[in-house]
Structure 1
Amino acid sequence: MEKFQVEKDCGCVNLRKVAMIGCGFVGSASAFSLMQSGLFSEMVLIDADKKKAEGEALDISHGVPFARPMKIYAGDYDDIVDAAIIIITAGANQKPDETRLDLVHKNIGIFKSIIPEIAKRDCKGILLVVSNPVDILTYTALKLSGFEENRVIGSGTVLDTARLKYMLGEHLQVDSRSVHAFIIGEHGDSEIAAWSSANVSGIAVDDFCEMRGHYQHDEATEMIAEKVKNSAYDIISKKHATYYGIAMAVRRICEAILRDEKSILPISSMMHGEYGIEDIVLSMPAIVGKHGIENRVPISLDQDEIRRLKESADILKDILRQNDL
């Protein structure tokens, strides 16, 4: 496992403060989820439309009497300096029939205005990128911010992995929390279900399937992987946006950081030779704690999964080259 270099805790960071940049569907749902979590006592919302941020802050604040004391307000970039976690959800929405990678040109342009504002304030907190395409934008944030790699995290395939666990749990009629499996690679169309390392409470997936009366393994795994990959498109076609699932994924990542859980989550991080892949951000399992990324976790992959992972990396590299990154 690669160990990341981490700085000592900085006294100028308020561990109970979070900043949300972007108050669209994902940003506002994530802010609402974080208000309910009790993780933070202060949250600043920032949006290009200041009145939108003010409205969301007011709306969420009115639920505080049902939760825990918390200061929620609309602000600007000067308010993020001492935030423990700076979450970026700003960007164009994904439209029906549009891939996450189709968003890249618009959202890289948006990040070129946001990230320098964060960088010039010498923020010491952790940068959590949620906007899509998340792997490309995490790479962009890392290059433009100058932050240490451990402090720049993308939400990656945390939600895709949750979808995989949920669908496997439904298929096998077992608690999805007992399913251990990862979606890796791009958070998008070239993502890979890492079946070779998947298990249910230590029992290989194929063996557990047979215990539950399922024997068509190839057909079932292919069907589930396709359903996971197409989940966002299906939801967008029905309700025009996805936001509840990713809001809960944001909350989960923040929990791992704030509580120093050392949890293993498939977040977006820079690759340095693992599986023969260099200089690209991919979603891979990593230990996440108070310093952000502590170690990447080399899960067992078969040769076909490694080949597909490299293809996923090549797709993202081509997009970066087209955008001069």
Structure 2
Amino acid sequence: MSKVMLVGDGAVGSAFANDLLQHVSLDELIIVDRKTQKAAGDAMDLEDLAMFDGTTVVRAGKYEDAADTDVVVITAGIPRKPGESRLDLVNKNVGILKTIIDPIVNSGFKGIFVVASNPVDILTTLTQRISGFPKNRVIGTGTSLDTARLRVALAKRCHVPVREISVDVLGEHGDTSFANFDEATIAGKPLKEFVDVSDEELAEMQSGVKKKGGTIIRSKGATYYGVARCLSLICEAIIFNRSIVLPLSAPLNGQYGIKDLYLGTPASVNRTGIRYVIETPLSEREVAAMQHSAAKMKEVLDGVEL
């Protein structure tokens, strides 16, 4: 049986559940939320997709139902407010995380944790530490959403389909992230050979990517469609052993000179979780940016008490 548990039925969680059921054939989807009536209502609403997209059993549940679950997706937490950074959320969300991880582990859960709650690199690292799970069985959405936003922006600028863009956002899912423009290609050609674009314009584009989430939050209260799709792709790779590569919060063990930290870098995912971490080639300037991002994450982690 293929079975997924969603913890956190807010905007991201609900969008993920909807996307998952439309793209992945499951036996069961269990929704857990402290607002039990909302979880039950969402389960009833989502089960109506069965006529169109499959026969998945969708129901509200409890943490102990994780015992025989393949994947637990965590989107629970206090959402970011306008003007608030993702790192501002850490102390608010660490306590919530512990109340989730402990009972799931105690249920006998042997699957894979996938974390989308922010600050995602910090909370993914802490999920692994709290759970004691092997690092390959804890995954964060990392910079997959940032990368999607950058590729969309470049595709608009260059008037090409998004699929022709090859560039990643790396490091923290947040203010210290950066794009590997030095290695970027469009339609197989180096970025600056394909289009006449200045470093200043690229920097402005990268800044726009960092600000896009805040702009959406001010406009409609939350961002959820992009990260929901990323979560669905990760679950599909795990459940059906379809190896995919995405820039994720992945466990670094010497890559880029960084250890014992989850940070945004390309990684391959299949039914084992993170199959391997890819140390993408970077210029000296970009390696320094990666290490700066890691230092900022470590600074925050050093101040967290578990």
- TM bracket (short chain): over 0.9
Structure 2 Cα separation of the partners of residues 256 and 196 of structure 1: 29
Which shows bigger deviation, 245-254 or 230-239?
Answer: 245-254
Which ranges in structure 1 are unaligned for 5 or more consecutive residues?
1-13, 210-214
Q: Does 1:76 align with 2:62?
A: yes
Structure 1 partner of 2:282: 301
Q: Does 1:31 align with 2:12?
A: no
Secondary structure of the structure 1 residue equivalent to 2:70? strand
Structure 1 Cα separation of the partners of residues 104 and 117 of structure 2: 16
Per-residue CA deviations over 1:94-136 (Å, capped at 9, x if unaligned) read 1100111111001111011111111112211111001000000
Shift of 1:186: 0.3
Structure 1 Cα separation of the partners of residues 262 and 136 of structure 2: 12
Shift of 1:252: 1.6
**Number of residue pairs matched?**
306
- Contact 2:164–2:188 at 8 Å: present in 1 too? no
Structure 1 residues 92-171: aligned runs within 5 Å: 92-171=78-157
- Contact 1:197–1:299 at 8 Å: present in 2 too? no
Secondary structure of the structure 2 residue equivalent to 1:97? coil
Structure 2 Cα separation of the partners of residues 90 and 66 of structure 1: 28
Structure 1 Cα separation of the partners of residues 184 and 25 of structure 2: 31
- Contact 2:164–2:187 at 8 Å: present in 1 too? yes
**250, 265, 285: which one aligns with 1:284:** 265
Structure 2 partner of 1:232: 213
Shift of 1:255: 2.1
Partner amino acid, structure 2, of 1:228: V
Q: Call closer, same or farther: CA 1:201–1:128 in 2, change over 3 Å.
A: same
What is the identity percentage for the equivalent residue pairs of Structure 1 and Structure 2? 40
Which ranges in structure 2 are unaligned for 5 or more consecutive residues?
none
Q: Does 1:273 align with 2:259?
A: no
Structure 1 residues 15-30: aligned runs within 5 Å: 16-30=2-16
Partner amino acid, structure 1, of 2:224: Y
Secondary structure of the structure 2 residue equivalent to 1:44? strand
Q: Does 1:65 align with 2:51?
A: yes
Structure 1 Cα separation of the partners of residues 287 and 171 of structure 2: 10
Structure 1 Cα separation of the partners of residues 119 and 71 of structure 2: 20
Shift of 1:263: 1.6
Partner amino acid, structure 1, of 2:249: S
Shift of 1:287: 1.1
The runs of at least 4 consecutive aligned structure 1 residues that moved more than 6 Å come to none
Structure 1 partner of 2:178: 192
Structure 1 Cα separation of the partners of residues 279 and 187 of structure 2: 19
Q: TM-score, normalised by structure 2?
A: 0.97
Partner amino acid, structure 2, of 1:219: E
Secondary structure of the structure 2 residue equivalent to 1:141? helix
Q: TM-score, normalised by structure 1?
A: 0.91
Structure 1 partner of 2:241: 260
Superposition RMSD in Å: 1.2
Structure 1 Cα separation of the partners of residues 240 and 188 of structure 2: 26
Structure 1 Cα separation of the partners of residues 204 and 242 of structure 2: 33
Shift of 1:248: 1.1
Structure 2 Cα separation of the partners of residues 39 and 137 of structure 1: 28
